Amino acid sequence: MNSAIRRLAVAAIILMLALMANSTYLQAFRAGDLNARNDNRRVRDSQFSVDRGPILIGSTPVAQSKPSTDRFQFQRTYAAGPVYAPVTGFYSYLYGRAGIELTQNAELNGSDPSMAFRRVIDVITNRRQQGASVTLTLNAAAQQAAYAGLAGKTGAVVAIEPKTGRVLALATRPSYDPNRLASHDLNDVSAAWKELTEAPGKPMSNRAVKELYPPGSTFKLVTAAAALSSGKYTPETKVHSPAELPLPQTTVPLVNENGRNCGGSDNATLTVALRNSCNTAFGTIGLDLKADALREQAAKFGFGERQLPELGAVASRFPADPNEPQTAQSAIGQFDVQATPLQMAMVAAGIANKGEVMKPYLVQNVKTHDLKTVSETKPESLHQAVTPEVAAQLTQMMVDVVANGTGKPGRISGVQVAGKTGTAQTSPERPPFAWFTAFAPADDPKIAVAVMIEDANIPRNDIAGGTLAAPIAKRVMEAVLGQ
């Protein structure tokens, strides 16, 4: 009998110790993760009673919490919701958080460890906990211009300040209204979520940073950078550029879009090849330099790296092991080359900034409700993609594209614009992607921009980067330059 009692006592002690160990583990090591889970409604009930800090552009809130008369006490609201939705994201009782509302949640609700002293003061003074404000880098005029330019289209726009990496605009369409998901009428929220997630246009998709597309001829900037950096080419080097370029290992040639040779010659200069966006010329360069050189150059512009953690951007990519025909296709931004609009804006910004690619960022600073600075983002260099000399050569070639070539719709009166168009083919069943990436002024860049149009609801033959994307880029650049 005593033996049985002893065994039972030992078992009880072991279970008690296991319970204590598990409780200690959860509180000491897992508490942060569990509290941060989107589906933790107990924490969310508590957080909805916090005066959540605003998300600002300058001093203007684009997301803020206002007092409410229901059990939640505060209602999250979004000014011009669809315009900023890809950046702000949403704050929803049922569906958690997205965008800045997710990645800056601890700062916005005041629970970040850096604000611990502020919380102690609030407890001592019997003041309700208040979140910090998050100020974004966006330029309101540029954001509005980007959003308006995408009206009636499916696509995205990203603009960057070349010298710092500050994101000046980040817009996608179709978009959605975060106010519908932040509502306290949970039946309405559920209905809105179902509608948005099932909508054919994918309005909640952040095409600017989370979707990958073939960059088409805008990638020729990367190929040109590799060519100039190799020492084998100058802007005046003549490149084989016939109407059709035979490729090894296949009977299918690489052809120019217009079915003709490059600018009236089978051997155009690199400048003329970029001006006219000659596929065969850049296919020739790709075969000459080989895939590794193109991949290494792409990596120096940021391919293969995840940028903008504020929004969880995906990494753009260059194919791992293409054969020779695939390398020629990759050199013109086709085959398996995939890029985000953010990435192609970084390419233009790197060239604009004398070859130095700056790390893009969206959060300018975080401040407590009494304006004490919690954190401030400083510009950070990412890579030296090309030398200043090569960047200067690329800049002049891109100026020529806008002044005399396919980028004419991107011209701004009194301002020298450097740019490159792109029209990326995918399959006969869907329209091509139209691209334009540019920066201005060419001699003292204040803005670099990339525009991608996925669908414009127009005939296939009317789709081109110059006609569709360049006018949007022009309006965004004008907004920043005050034109």
What is the pLDDT, as a whole number, of residue 33?
A: 64
What confidence category does residue 120 fall into, taking pLDDT thresholds of 50, 70 and 90? Answer: low
Q: Is the pLDDT of residue 361 over 80?
A: yes
Q: Is residue 25 part of a domain?
A: no
The predicted model gives 444-458 an average pLDDT of 90
In a domain, 160, yes or no: no
Query: CB count, 10 Å around CB of 12?
Result: 10
pLDDT reported for residue 252: 93
In the chain, % helix, strand, coil (3-state, to 5) comes to 40, 20, 40
Average pLDDT over residues 233-238: 98
**Percentage with pLDDT > 90 across the chain:** 75
Q: Is residue 250, in this structure, part of any structural domain at all?
A: yes
Given a cut of 90, is residue 428 above it in pLDDT? no
Average pLDDT over residues 336-341: 97
DSSP 238-287: EEE--SEE--TT-SPPEE-TTSS-BTTBSEEEHHHHHHTT-HHHHHHHHH
Take residue 95 and report the two structure tokens written for it: 């569906």
Q: How many domains does the chain have?
A: 1
Is residue 21 situated within a structural domain?
no
Among candidate residues 65, 92, 205, 217, the one labeled active-site is 217
Residues recorded for the chain: 483
Closest Cα partner for 465 from 296, 163, 237, 221? 221
Average pLDDT estimate for 179-205? 96
Sequence-distant (6+) residues with CB within 8 A of 142 are 159, 168, 169, 447, 476, 479, 480
In a domain, 54, yes or no: no
Give alpha helix (H) positions in 110-176: 116-124, 140-149
| Minimum mean pLDDT range among 329-333, 369-373, 438-442, 451-455 | 369-373
Residue 324: per-residue pLDDT: 97
Q: What confidence category does residue 6 fall into, taking pLDDT thresholds of 50, 70 and 90?
A: confident
Give the mean pLDDT of 309-337. 97
Range from 20-29, 269-278, 463-472 carrying the lowest mean pLDDT: 20-29
- Residue 124 confidence class, pLDDT cut points 50, 70, 90: low
Q: Tell me the C-alpha distance between 156 and 302, whole Å.
A: 19
Determine the average pLDDT of the residues in 435-447: 98
Query: Would you say 174 and 147 are in contact if contact means Cβ atoms under 8 Å apart?
Result: no
- pLDDT for residue 26 is more than 80: no
Q: Residue 455: what pLDDT?
A: 84
Q: How far apart are CA 421 and CA 276, in angstroms?
A: 10
Q: How many degrees, rounded to 5, is the angle at CA 430 between CA 429 and CA 431?
A: 135
pLDDT at 127: 62
**Residues 6 or more apart whose Cβ sits within 8 Å of residue 51:** 65, 74, 128, 129, 130, 131, 369
Report the 3 state secondary structure along 196-238: HHHCCCCCCCCCCCCCCECCHHHHHHHHHHHHHHHCCCCCCCE
Q: What pLDDT shows up at residue 9? A: 76
Q: Are 481 and 446 in contact (CB under 8 A)?
A: yes
**Residue-level pLDDT at 462:** 60
Model pLDDT for residues 131-143, shown as the tens digit of each residue: 899 999 999 999 9
| Residue environment code for 403-425, b if the CB has 16+ CB neighbours within 10 A, otherwise e | bebbbbbbebeebbbbbbbbbbb
Q: Identify whether the C-beta of residue 353 lies closer than 8 Å to the C-beta of residue 162.
A: yes
How high does pLDDT run on average in the chain?
91
Is residue 37 situated within a structural domain? no
Residue 118 confidence (pLDDT) above 80: no
Asked if omega into 67 is within 30° of 0 (cis), the reply is no
pLDDT of residue 371: 81
Give CA–CA dist 201/464, Å, rounded.
21
Active-site residue 175, yes or no? no
Which residue range is the domain that position 393 belongs to?
Answer: 216-363+379-481
CATH number at residue 296: 3.40.710.10
Asked if the model's pLDDT at residue 117 lies above 60, the reply is no
Read off the pLDDT of residues 412-422 as tens digits, 9 standing for 90 and up: 999 999 999 99
In a domain, 246, yes or no: yes
473 CB-near residues (< 8 Å, 6+ apart): 157, 410, 419, 436, 437, 438, 449, 450, 451
259-293 residue pLDDT tens:
899 988 899 999 999 999 999 999 999 999 999 99
Average pLDDT value for residue range 475-483: 94
* Residue 114: inside a domain: no
User: How far is Cα 75 from Cα 90, in angstroms, rounded to an integer?
Assistant: 12
Q: Among 110-114, 172-176, 197-201, where is mean pLDDT lowest?
A: 110-114
Q: Is pLDDT of 29 > 70?
A: no
Instruction: Compute and round to an integer the Cα radius of gyration of the chain.
Output: 26
Least Cα distance to 272 among 224, 344, 335 occurs for: 224
Predicted local distance difference test score (pLDDT) of residue 18: 76
> Quick one: pLDDT at residue 38?
56
pLDDT of residue 46: 72
Q: Which of 180, 169, 174, 107 is nearest to 142 (CA)?
A: 169
Residue with tokens 């090309």: 386
Q: How confident is the model at residue 14 (pLDDT cuts 50, 70, 90)?
A: confident
Residue 442: pLDDT above 80?
Answer: yes
Longest dimension (CA), the chain: 105
Judged against a pLDDT cut of 90, whether residue 112 lies above it is answered with: no
Q: What is the pLDDT of residue 80?
A: 94
For 70-215, strand residue ranges (E) read 74-78, 91-92, 96-97, 133-136, 154-160, 167-173
Do the beta carbons of residue 85 and residue 178 sit within 8 Å?
Answer: yes
Q: Which token pair is 156?
A: 């995205």
CA distance 407 to 405: 6
- Sort strands 55-57 and 133-136 into parallel, antiparallel or unpaired: parallel
